[in-house]
Structure 1
Amino acid sequence: MTKNFDLIVIGVGMAGLNIVRKCRSAGWEVAVVDSLPYGGTCMLRGCDPKKVLVGAAELVDWQRRMAGHGVTGDVRIDWADLMRFKRTFTDPAPANVEKSLQKMGVATYHGHARFSGQTTLRVGDEELMGKHIVVATGAVPRALGIPGAELVTTSTEFLELAALPERIVFVGGGYISFEFAHIAARAGAVVTILHRGERPLEGFDADLVEQLVAASRDIGIDIRLQTEVTAIERTDAGLIVHTAHDGERYEADMVVHGAGRVPAIEGLGLDSAGVEYGERGIVVNEYLQSISNPAVYAAGDATVINGMPLTPVAVTEGHVVASNLLKGNHRVPDYTGVPSVVFTIPALAKAGLGEDEARAQGLEFAVNHQDTSGWYSARRTNEKHTGFKVLIEEKTGRILGAHLLGAHAGEVINLFALAIRNGLTATDIKKTVFVHPAEAADISYMV
């Protein structure tokens, strides 16, 4: 027997949950389906648990930087104890999410959803029909396509490690590799990052990335660029990572996948629903509606759109989809000034345009760029690698883009995001009275 709903949402992460709650509050009959525990990547397998680990690594780093500057003693990470603390955040979440949904009257399903028609899904032995269906399935690690790929540890598995291996090789030079490498290095592991490109973290400012690479090497992380991994082999002593770079090999106890993620749409049966898709996910219009099946919308990492694969973007897209479902297509996502952070130590952050993007748009702008390791805010905690780059439109004084490296970059970048989003100028920022001394106050000297 087919069960009918006004809305079915596939994927119970941040994008999907926003849509479900808004539509259910409006009186719609709503169902959710997920083959994984409810809560999504950020809550269970990504941002939130990762930031718990980063917090411990920051404390270790702070103590080491201040040794000989008024701080004595040794601080070390107890990995097993840290994992227990991390689980206090993640373990209760799925049941709490499901309980909150059921309390609202949302029908909850566990299992793999597959389209059987334009508006119908199969979940195990059950068939569900929805007037509208939203795909919010997130992303999964990109297939490496090399011999021994099955030996690789995913980011999800890394966040569940009972013990930290002594030697870890990260494949790929993206944010997952850098963030986890900084955690692992502070916890005592010998860490290597292998990246096939000329520079890592390609979506971030090249000059600040260069500073971060230097900071990473200073704590013992071995970063190898233009080094493509060709195979992974298991031996009695552990793992061997083979590369195309002069036949170099790297020994490891664990190899971690940090080579990018792709939309998690495989196996959804999108062809059966007439939903057009590609390598970058479901193809949608400006309203996040499928261009080939008007009953289907998509949000978060499952979509082909201009937003970055970030939780705040998924949340924003969830709001947009919910509004368009309830009121008809009228709202489009606005990605102006969306900030992004690599939670390394120090952190790397950006908001708005990079130099190449600004030039491509024909904008005329000034670039304020400086190493700030000599500034008070860096010196007081003995930070050796800090800096900024800010793009200011010459004609209007508007802040076009901001790029930061430093201990508080992940917080300060939000001020720049606010400025960019609201068209504030350098003069507006300079006129603002900030608390002193505080890292946020430094922005008036950056513009």
Structure 2
Amino acid sequence: MNPSLPLSKSNTMGFEHYDIFVIGTGSAGRKVAVSCAKEGMKVAIADNREYGGTCANRGCDPKKVLLNASEIIARTTDLAAVGITEVPKIDWQALQKFKEKFVSAMPIKTEESLEEVGIKMYHQSPEFLEDGLLIVEGKKVTYDKVVIATGLIPRPLHFKGAELFKISDDFLDLPELPDSMIFIGGGYIAMEFAHIAARCGVDVTIIERGKSILKHFDENIAAYLQKISEDIGVKFILNASVTGAEMLQKNTRVYYEQNGKEKDVKAMMVFNTSGRVPSIEMLSLEKANITTTPKGIKVNKFLQSTSNPNVYACGDVADSGALPLTPLSSKEGSHVAKQLTSGKHEEYTFAAIPTSVYTTPQLATVGLTEEQAKEQDIEYKVLSEHVPDWFSVKRLNSRDYCYKTLKGPNDEILGAEILAPEASEMINLFAMAIQQKLTCTQFRQTIFAYPTFASDMQSMV
């Protein structure tokens, strides 16, 4: 068959045909596949890695298991001066075995759930031959609609010695911790891993090309978290661009440029945590006229490809304007599935989206930042305070507690950012308040259990 010819019944005879072909088995892809299969559609799904996606296998879930241990060290260290007589030590190998109980079961459970509803599974990344035609596992298959939900992968590095850098997958599977580590990039992943490693006794350095870490957060609060990180031994090299790396006998030497000068630093292990990019290179999207941007598949307000109406994208790989977060991926998958099963287009609208950095203390945000409010010409008032004397942290013998909230002209909550031991839980209440359009007055009138971090939040608006 000549791939340049348009598809027709005559030139696709003998090929397996699917109503829906889903690429990616993370939360977005699974949601689409299962929903469509339950409606009687013939569905296939493919993945070139273990089924279940990044979050469950090599992202959020295993990371949080490891973080639990560092949180305990942080908490007991703070309380050592007020009655806790011994700070615990971490048995890294035992902790890894515990983590594997969660991770190892996921691929099998995922495949079993897909098989239950009659979904055909492929264990390879498909490649587009043209619109309506894919090749996967050496077989050509046709489809009516395809859904791309392949997520993100670590950003490739392009300098001499780049192959020496490990990625987040490697950190999560480390059989033992080295004496020293370097992370490139000062984002979520680097900060979270740095806190785990530093509290387990590792000498940690973060090299960030920008002037500050965590660029999506308030600069002052991010700077405060940086100071806390420095207090536990994390070193920061800012305004620095990595230019190369070389292997020494025991260490890897990393070269960087800072203020026009070439400098270097070395560690036993180095990690590329410089960001993530869409996982689309292997798909040959151009053959199916699928337009992309640096952020992923270019989609319209229906999460449909702007250049090919037979293609939808959801989750982190879709350039939808949303943050790359697991709960959002699942919502987008549900939205795409609803349209595919109903045959009706429906505009996708974003809810208030909270996001957290799981350091200790945690940093979390939801809604508008001050910069966004200015860009959108929205009138606002800032309430911001460092509150080390509030009971919630004082009882933990900690001083690491601050917040910043934005109020609108009509008493509405526009956005919030919190640095606190339980910020990831607290921010959910602000997300609900923003989504339900509660005013600051209504939020303050709600009765919360006391003394809790939630009850503190009423003083933040």
Please report the TM-score for the alignment, with normalisation by the length of structure 1.
0.98
Q: Which residue of 2 aligns with 1:276?
A: 291
TM-superposed CA distance for 1:207, in Å, is 1.7
2:309 is the counterpart of 1:259: no
2:70 is the counterpart of 1:24: no
Q: Which residue of 2 aligns with 1:142?
A: 155
Q: Quick check: 1:336–1:352 contact (8 Å CA) kept in 2?
A: no
TM-superposed CA distance for 1:336, in Å, is 3.4
Aligned equivalents of 2:365, 2:383: Cα separation in 1: 14
TM-superposed CA distance for 1:166, in Å, is 0.8
Q: Which residue of 2 aligns with 1:250?
A: 265
Q: Quick check: 2:23–2:125 contact (8 Å CA) kept in 1?
A: no
Aligned equivalents of 2:196, 2:350: Cα separation in 1: 30
TM-superposed CA distance for 1:382, in Å, is 1.6
TM-superposed CA distance for 1:196, in Å, is 0.7
TM-superposed CA distance for 1:305, in Å, is 1.3
Matches within 5 A, 1:214-233: 214-233=227-246
Secondary structure of residue in 1 paired with 2:20: strand
Q: Which residue of 2 aligns with 1:330?
A: 345
Aligned equivalents of 1:250, 1:80: Cα separation in 2: 28
Q: 2:320 aligns with which of 280, 302, 305?
A: 305
Q: 1:408 aligns with which of 406, 422, 429?
A: 422
Q: Quick check: 2:128–2:287 contact (8 Å CA) kept in 1?
A: yes
Counterpart residue identity of residue 145, structure 2: H
Aligned equivalents of 2:344, 2:419: Cα separation in 1: 40
Q: Quick check: 2:124–2:137 contact (8 Å CA) kept in 1?
A: yes
CA-to-aligned-CA distance 1:174-220 (integer Å, 9 cap, x gap): 10000000011111110000001011111111121111011101101
Aligned equivalents of 2:400, 2:345: Cα separation in 1: 46
CA-to-aligned-CA distance 1:128-156 (integer Å, 9 cap, x gap): 21111000000011112111111111001
2:424 is the counterpart of 1:397: no
Secondary structure of residue in 1 paired with 2:281: coil
Q: Which residue of 1 aligns with 2:118?
A: 105
TM-superposed CA distance for 1:328, in Å, is 3.0
Aligned equivalents of 2:256, 2:141: Cα separation in 1: 48
Aligned equivalents of 2:347, 2:273: Cα separation in 1: 31
TM-superposed CA distance for 1:420, in Å, is 0.9
TM-superposed CA distance for 1:252, in Å, is 0.6
Return 408-417 or 315-324, whichever deviates more: 315-324
Counterpart residue identity of residue 120, structure 2: A
Secondary structure of residue in 2 paired with 1:262: strand
TM-superposed CA distance for 1:125, in Å, is 1.3
Matches within 5 A, 1:175-214: 175-214=188-227
Q: 1:347 aligns with which of 335, 342, 362?
A: 362
Counterpart residue identity of residue 440, structure 1: A
Q: Which residue of 1 aligns with 2:433?
A: 419
329 and 224 in structure 1: CA distance in 2 versus 1, 3 angstrom threshold:
farther
Q: Which residue of 1 aligns with 2:382?
A: 367
CA-to-aligned-CA distance 1:324-349 (integer Å, 9 cap, x gap): 11223432332232000000000000
CA-to-aligned-CA distance 1:240-275 (integer Å, 9 cap, x gap): 010102322111111111101000000201011111
Q: Quick check: 1:12–1:32 contact (8 Å CA) kept in 2?
A: yes
Q: Which residue of 1 aligns with 2:136?
A: 123
Aligned equivalents of 1:152, 1:415: Cα separation in 2: 39
Please report the TM-score for the alignment, with normalisation by the length of structure 2.
0.95
TM-superposed CA distance for 1:82, in Å, is 0.8
Aligned equivalents of 2:388, 2:166: Cα separation in 1: 36
Q: Which residue of 2 aligns with 1:92?
A: 105
Q: 1:320 aligns with which of 306, 331, 335?
A: 335
Q: Quick check: 2:365–2:417 contact (8 Å CA) kept in 1?
A: yes
Aligned equivalents of 1:434, 1:76: Cα separation in 2: 36
Aligned equivalents of 1:334, 1:208: Cα separation in 2: 29
Q: Quick check: 1:191–1:220 contact (8 Å CA) kept in 2?
A: yes
Matched-pair identity in %:
40
Aligned equivalents of 2:333, 2:417: Cα separation in 1: 27
Aligned equivalents of 1:329, 1:170: Cα separation in 2: 46
Q: Which runs of 4+ in 1 moved over 4 A?
A: none
Q: 1:47 aligns with which of 56, 60, 72?
A: 60
Q: Which residue of 2 aligns with 1:37?
A: 50
Q: Quick check: 2:122–2:137 contact (8 Å CA) kept in 1?
A: no
Aligned equivalents of 2:305, 2:216: Cα separation in 1: 27
Q: 1:159 aligns with which of 165, 169, 172?
A: 172
Q: Quick check: 1:19–1:318 contact (8 Å CA) kept in 2?
A: yes
Aligned equivalents of 2:330, 2:398: Cα separation in 1: 34
| Aligned alpha-carbon RMSD (Å) | 1.0
TM-superposed CA distance for 1:373, in Å, is 1.4
Q: Which runs of 5+ in 1 are unaligned?
A: none
2:21 is the counterpart of 1:8: yes
